[in-house]
Structure 1
């Protein structure tokens, strides 16, 4: 990881620590760590970094071929803004338990989690399940054809001391991020935006803080790129009286290729038709892929992204921006 500090508020200058810090504790023996998903607990001032650990040389395809999940749900914590980290905590047995027998690969995020107004911590996740016929013996059972991903949330109501698992959605929904939407009456909904192979994103709402996602938004306004790509969502309070929740979304803006990372704004986030047809901004012109959004000061935002000039994974870049008037 790499840490940066906002040094000059006027010109928004960030001073980056030279070099990279190796999170040597964020792993399990003979496993690789994947899909980082951080969330900050404001009361205890604790930064949680969730990830999955998968045995070395075990691929996603291998887990699907054998219909057996081999991942572990893990996290580390920091109380000093990422300077030092705890040892890895493995939640798999206590939180997922017997459900692992029903899953092929699973993962969290990737990208940020959420702390809701109530204090609940949310970690977005997804898991593949077998969806073919029970007696199917054709070769397609050894491919992605008979497996689909379904999103869910892991959550904690005690500042991250204990964790529980919500129910999976019943529509295809892969890599995902979530955001809290507060309506004009002060009621909260948890919004989920997920990758699919369907040509459009899955958008869903939970009215019980992530335990279930019962409402799916339509029309299918947000296009998906090719076979899919991760995207980021971020809710924020628009500066009005009373303030309203708006929703930002970043994703490659081409329906075919991972290029031109676009930023989209929905001023009516409980209604999917509020998404524009064209991006508000292009955060990177050219090859681009995964991204993660943050509001670091009211009305000031940043995006961490994969991008490049020839390929989308040449570098990881960080860009700051404000919304156009």
Structure 2
């Protein structure tokens, strides 16, 4: 990656150690072509429960996605026990396929909201962009028993997007997790292919560009609104809350790009508008980009030795939170999934070097924190990144050791 840490290749990163021993395959591609893709992960501390979601597809193609599936993980006798895969039969609309799971947990009502999109038939994203005719719907289901049972589907498309949909060639949520900010606002990351210019009177799209945005709720998920768009070309995204030393919130967006580097943006209005966006020079993208995951975490309490180092250093931490980011580290193809740490997330060049969590073909991923530990749900394999979806536990110290190193 390029940046203040110098140039490096994934081969120069430390080999994973704890990650490999804790790895659990949760979904595996079958010989008949059935494939599981697009992982999403949350941990609910109230119920000490992991929820992992994925798309079940009849083939690897996006157009052959069918339904969403879930597995529940809970600690038993010192290890994690995983329930069998459950088909989310209510997470669908007639004659539509369900895609892009995006869960968020609302703490006050103890409700899991699982957002997703429903797309008519086998209509591809490319077809929608080319014709300017959106075929996607914004939907969610809920659970109040930590994912054991689920509600019927709610279609928000008309009430939340409304007439604006005429300017949307297509859209999607996430994929990956949403967040609840400290003020209670629920954030669902999303992106839209916006029609900036069309040929009148045929309404044929002439200029369609992707933009990251969010949907949000300030009343525990009863009603939802549409946030502002990131102005730079930006696609699949996740968001995290950064708290500065004045206790002000900054909503951080990390988005996929086809320009060789990730797009980062900040909002001081909790997603109503994004004022600052730029290319993250230290976070590269393979050709055409890839989804990535971002997670905020409280700055860990320093040890006595760390306190001495801090007192001898002229710099001061500028936030009460750090950021973790997970993404393939190879610049040309989806390989060598790495976890990056940013100890100064309001600094555009604050990312350290990555810790490799999977060496080899890697794709989409999602991060979560559980108690003092961390976990990643990732697409990975030996020959292809779509061979399986695996769950890996790791420690912050694993990432810090790699992040603090400097390339020679």
Superposed pair shares fold, TM > 0.5: yes
Partner secondary structure for residue 205 of structure 1: strand
Can you list the C-alpha shifts for 1:140-197, whole angstroms capped at 9, x where unaligned?
Answer: x88xx94221011100000000000012121111000000000111110100000011
Partner secondary structure for residue 166 of structure 2: helix
* Structure 1 pair 132–199 and aligned structure 2 pair: CA distance change class (3 A): farther
* Structure 1 pair 23–133 and aligned structure 2 pair: CA distance change class (3 A): closer
Larger relative contact order (Cα-Cα within 8 Å, sequence gap ≥ 6): 2
What is aligned with 1:3?
Answer: 72
* Structure 1 pair 133–69 and aligned structure 2 pair: CA distance change class (3 A): closer
Partner secondary structure for residue 169 of structure 1: coil
Q: Residue 102 of structure 1: which of 167, 176, 188 is its match?
A: 167
Q: Residue 190 of structure 1: which of 248, 251, 269 is its match?
A: 251
Is the contact made by 1:191 and 1:203 (CA closer than 8 Å) also made in structure 2?
Answer: yes
> Does 1:296 find its partner at 2:374?
no
Rounded to whole Å, the distance in 1 between the matches of 2:279 and 2:337 is 23
What is aligned with 2:213?
Answer: 152
Rounded to whole Å, the distance in 2 between the matches of 1:22 and 1:118 is 33
What is aligned with 1:233?
Answer: 294
Can you list the C-alpha shifts for 1:76-105, whole angstroms capped at 9, x where unaligned?
Answer: 000001000000000000000011000111
Q: Aligned runs of 1:62-77 on 2, under 5 Å?
A: 62-77=127-142
Q: Which runs of 5+ in 1 are unaligned?
A: none
Which deviates the most, 114-123 or 63-72?
A: 63-72
Is the contact made by 1:218 and 1:273 (CA closer than 8 Å) also made in structure 2?
Answer: no
What is aligned with 2:323?
Answer: 247
Rounded to whole Å, the distance in 2 between the matches of 1:220 and 1:101 is 35
What is aligned with 2:388?
Answer: 315
Q: Residue 238 of structure 2: which of 177, 184, 189 is its match?
A: 177
Partner secondary structure for residue 274 of structure 1: coil
Rounded to whole Å, the distance in 2 between the matches of 1:8 and 1:251 is 32
Rounded to whole Å, the distance in 1 between the matches of 2:175 and 2:279 is 24
Is the contact made by 1:230 and 1:289 (CA closer than 8 Å) also made in structure 2?
Answer: yes
- Cα offset for 1:272? 1.7
How many residue pairs are counted as aligned between the two chains?
A: 313
Partner secondary structure for residue 96 of structure 1: helix
What is aligned with 1:15?
Answer: 81
Q: Which runs of 5+ in 2 are unaligned?
A: 1-69, 303-316, 402-408
- Cα offset for 1:131? 4.2
* Structure 1 pair 133–62 and aligned structure 2 pair: CA distance change class (3 A): closer
Alignment RMSD: 1.9
Moved over 6 A (4+): none
> Does 1:59 find its partner at 2:135?
no
Is the contact made by 1:304 and 1:318 (CA closer than 8 Å) also made in structure 2?
Answer: yes
* Structure 1 pair 30–218 and aligned structure 2 pair: CA distance change class (3 A): closer
Q: Residue 27 of structure 1: which of 92, 99, 113 is its match?
A: 92
